[in-house]
Amino acid sequence: MLPPDKSSGVRFVQVTSDREGQRLDNFLSAQLKRLPKSVIYKMIRTGQVRINGKRCKPSSRLEEGDAVRIPPARVRGDGTVTVSERVCSQVRASVLFQDSDLVVINKPSGMAVHSGSGLPWGLIDVVRQIHSGEYYELAHRLDRETSGCLVLARNGRSLNHLTRLFREGGVQKYYLCLLDGRMAEPVIEIDAALKKEHGVAEREVVVSEEGKAALTRFRLLQARGDCSYAEAQLLTGRTHQIRVHAQHMGLPLAGDAKYGGAESVEKWKALGLHRTFLHARRLAFESLSGEVLQFEAPLPESLKAVLSRCEA
C-alpha cells in the first residue's frame, strides 16, 4: 500500500498481481467492505476515486502496479451483515462444482450477486460468510431475477484468467428463455448494438447505433401455444443483452417487467410466473490448465411448471 494522505484521510492502494484484470467497482467493494454499491458508484462518478491520477469508470479494468485513490468512507455501525442460516444452506445446496481455483453456483432467482440498491447483501457476501477468511470474487454477473450458472474465482490467478475469458469472448454462454410470441424462424440472430440509457430512474439499455456491438443467437426449442421456448446463446456480453434483443425482435421475455410491459407481466402472473423467464443453463470454457470445463444448471421447477401451463 502506498503512503496515505494523512491530511485528508485519502489512501492510495497499489494493485497487486492477484487483482489485475478486476473491475474497479469490485476492487473497491473488497477495500470498502459493506459500503453500499450506490455509494461506491457515486464516489467514482464524482471523481473521488482515481486510477493513476485519472478519472475512471466502475467497469475500468485494473493492471498490476496501478495506484488507486480511495477517499475516506464510513459505514454506519460496525457494517456487519449476517445472512441467515437458511440462505447459507440454500447457497451450499446450489454448488455445482468446486475446486481450488473456482466455484460454480446455480444462483437462485431473486438473489442479487452483490449488495447495493437497497440490498444489504448479495450472493458473494453469503459465500464469504460461509467461507470466512477465504478468497472469493465474482468472475461475472447475473441479473437478480436470472437463475443459473454463476462462476466465482478462488484465487487471484484464477480471477485474472476468468475475467479475461469473459471479457474476450472465451466463454460459451447458453440461456433458456420463454419468448412472448412465435419465432418466425427456427434460428434467429440479432445483431444490434446496445447502449446504456442515462437519466432514467433505473438502468435501462436500448438498441442504438451509438452503442457497443452485441450479437445473440436464438434457437427455437419448442413452440408453446403463442409463445416460444428457446435457447439464447450470448456471442457478446452486454448488460441486459438477451432481454433487449428479445424485445427488439418483438418477442419480449415472459415476465420481464422492464422490457415486456405491465400488460405482459400481468398475463404471465396469471400463469404463475412471478419473475423474468431467463435461466443461465450452460457455461463452457478452458481452465487454467487448458482443460475444457462445462457446467449445466437444470431449469428450476417453477419455470418447468409455467411451461407445462402453456399450450403445446
Which residues are marked as active site? 143
> Which residue, 66, 74, 84, 70, is CA-closest to 28?
70
Instruction: Give the whole-angstrom CA distance, residue 179 versus residue 11.
Output: 49
Give the other-Cβ count within 10 Å of 61's Cβ: 17
Please report which helix (H) or strand (E) contains residue 256, including its range.
none
Report the amino acid identity of residue 143: D
> Which residue, 149, 58, 49, is CA-closest to 106?
149
Can you tell me which residue has the cell 440490498? 119
> Which residue, 1, 139, 154, 157, is CA-closest to 65?
1
Cα first-last separation, the chain: 61
Report the chain's C-alpha Rg in angstroms.
20
Alpha carbon 304 to its chain's center? 23
